[in-house]
Copies of this chain bind each other. A is one copy, B any other.
Amino acid sequence: MTRILGGGELSAAIRADVTARAGGLRESGVQPKLAVVTATDDESTAWYVRSIAKAATRTGIECQIVDLGATAVQNDVLSALVELSADSDVHGIILQTPLPDGVDVTSLRTAITPDKDVDGANPLSLGRLLANQPAFAPATAAAVMALLDHHEVPLRGRLASVVGRSVVVGTPVAHLLVQRDATVTVCHHHTVDLAASTRNADVVVVAVGVPGLVTAEHVADGAIVVDVGTTATDDGTLLGDVDAASVEGRAGGLTPVPGGVGPVTTALLLANTVTAATTLSTTTHRDAGVLVGAVAR
A interface residues (Cβ-Cβ under 8 A, vs B): 78, 106-111, 122-133, 156-157, 159, 165, 167, 171, 174-175, 178, 181-188, 190-192, 197, 288-291
- CB of B183 within 8 A of CB of A183, answer no
Q: Which of A78, A156, A289 neighbours the largest number of chain B CB atoms within 10 Å of its CB?
A: A289
CB closest residue in chain B, given A125: B127
- CB of A291 within 8 A of CB of B157, answer no
A132 contact set on B, CB distance < 8 A: 106, 167
- CB of A174 within 8 A of CB of B188, answer no
The 6 closest A-B pairs by CB, nearest first: A127-B127, A123-B127, A181-B190, A126-B127, A123-B131, A185-B185
A291 contact set on B, CB distance < 8 A: 107
- CB of B127 within 8 A of CB of A171, answer no
Expressed in whole angstroms, the Cα–Cα distance for A171 and B178 within the complex equals: 9
A165 contact set on B, CB distance < 8 A: 178
Expressed in whole angstroms, the Cα–Cα distance for A165 and B78 within the complex equals: 35
- CB of A127 within 8 A of CB of B133, answer no
Partner of A131, one of B126, B128, B178: B126
Partner of A108, one of B109, B126, B183, B289: B289
A156 contact set on B, CB distance < 8 A: 190
Expressed in whole angstroms, the Cα–Cα distance for A128 and B192 within the complex equals: 28
- CB of B190 within 8 A of CB of A111, answer no
How close is A248's CB to chain B, nearest CB, in angstroms?
27
- CB of A133 within 8 A of CB of B106, answer yes
Partner of A289, one of B78, B131, B159, B182: B78
Partner of A192, one of B124, B157, B187: B157
Q: Given A126-B130, A175-B171, decide whether A110 and B188 contact each other with a Cβ distance below 8 A.
A: no
30 contacts between A and B (CB under 8 A): A78-B289, A106-B131, A106-B133, A107-B133, A107-B289, A111-B289, A122-B127, A123-B124, A123-B127, A123-B128, A123-B131, A124-B127, A126-B127, A126-B131, A127-B128, A127-B129, A127-B130, A130-B171, A131-B167, A156-B190, A157-B191, A171-B178, A174-B186, A183-B185, A183-B186, A183-B187, A183-B188, A183-B192, A185-B185, A185-B186
